[in-house]
Every structure is written in C-alpha cells, then in structure tokens.
Structure 1
C-alpha cells in the first residue's frame, strides 16, 4: 500500500464515492493504481433509482480486459429469490481462463504467439466466442500492426496460464 501515495489513485477512490446514487461506499483493492476515472482495482455500485450512473471507467474499457456490464430486468427485491440461480447461470455462461474452471489451456508458447497476433479473432476461431463478440471489442479484438516481439518473457509466462481470465 505505500505505493498508492505515488499516484492519485486514492483521490480517484474519493471522487468515485461522490458519484450520484452511490450505494454504500467506494472501495479499492490492495493492488489499486491510477486509472481512467476509476482507480484500477476500484469497486463501486450505484442505484439508478437514486440517480446512479454507469461509468465506462468503472467497467474496464481501456484494454478490453473482459469486464462487461450486465443489465437485467430485476429489482433489488427480486435478487434474494433468484441469486443462486443467477450466479449458477453466470458461472455457466462466462468463461474463466486461469485456475479451476478454466475453459482454455494454451498448448504452449507457439499457441500464445497466435493469441498475441490474432487476439480475439483467434479465440473465436478456437470456439471461445462468436463473431458478434468481435463487433463489441475495440479494433475487433486485435491491433492490426501488433508486434508480439514487444511482449516480455515474464508477460508471456504469465499469459500462458491467464489467457481468457477476466480482469
């Protein structure tokens, strides 16, 4: 936590706490750092009935990290009744990359190279998405002139076990 004094992430947490319709408080995870509006690692909920807002900065739009907004025709009063069923459906529908429940394990560095160059298109080709998903990604999920050689060995090692994970 001493590193949080090096940037303005704490200020961002305070600013988020003043959003209209904030529910409870603005939170920050231990690895928080400066972000786009929200601190990376910041968490907040707002209530539309109390003037709450939806902020793209709060759902991780900058690197297409897999965080998405979910809208549902549910009132808060409905949630306790359907919570377990909803969580089971989300767990079934949302792919997880690393660890228990992983839906995609890369075969090694050559496949990681294909991921680095092909991006989301490669994932769709491997059955981990549909074409419609690409329409919702910046640059359709891949940067045209990407240079995979710029990815460090350390990042490649981490990526082998984390491709497809959320956040």
Structure 2
C-alpha cells in the first residue's frame, strides 16, 4: 500500500483543517527538535496514538522523509484513516520557513553521537599508525569490526554505552 506524499505547505493546510501530525522519529530526536503539536509515535508500536476526537487524516513525518517512505505500508496500516507523508520531512518543513520547536539543552541524537565517536576513534587510530606506531590501525580495525557487528546483529555496544552517559539521561521520553 502506498501513501501519497505532500508538501509542507499542503501539510500545514491539512493541519489547519484538523489533521493530526505524527512524528515517527525516536524520543531523543523529538526531544531536541520537533514540529509544534506533533504526536510522537515509534513505528514499533502497534497503533498510532491519536488524540480523542482526532480528525480522519494523519500526516506522518521523520527528519528527511526516508524513514516514512521506508515504513509507508506499516504507517498506512497503523493509521486506520486517510494518511499522507510529509515530503522531505522535518528538514523540508524548516526549509519552508514553518515553525519548529527546538530545545538545544537536549543532547544530539544517539546515532549522531555514535558516528562522531566512531569516526574520532578511526581517525585517531590512523593518526597513531601514521605517526607513532603501525599498531594504531588496530584501533581503527576494532571500531570497524564493531560497526559491522552492529549492522549485522542490530546491537550497537557503543550506542548502549553512550546512552548511559550523563548528558543523555536528560532526554525527555
């Protein structure tokens, strides 16, 4: 089943007519930045938590539109009413100059933290190998192996470790 995509301006018009905006991103992403009035719903949940007396139209969005496209069939099944995808997601909404609520006190998204940490460790291993000892490549290899394992298994030890850091415990669920 496909869900039609709409522009941010079309989505804003539907919202003005009573449609419900549903953010399918993770808690940490939503806590840092979201469209005012959006309902947070994780795709892994069985049904969209629509407010009582909600409209018969739902507009789904993520950050760039890729997650909503990838989960379109599941979103359509969970919506149970007319559904649309916000083309370009939150990024397109912001480019259109539409309002966004930001809380810079919240930490950056966990996956971005993993990318920063892994990239820093790989770069450090390369610099060590180039300047101090050829064994520096072992650090880069270890991080690479960890990323492959995370991709294959779905378990990311670095993400689990970063989630326990004090700055990540502030995220509003």
Q: TM-score range by the shorter chain?
A: under 0.3
Rg: which structure is higher? 2
Kindly indicate which of the two structures has a greater share of residues assigned to strand.
2
Structure ranking higher on relative contact order (CA contacts 8 Å, 6+ apart):
2
Q: TM-score, normalised by structure 2?
A: 0.20
Q: TM-score, normalised by structure 1?
A: 0.21
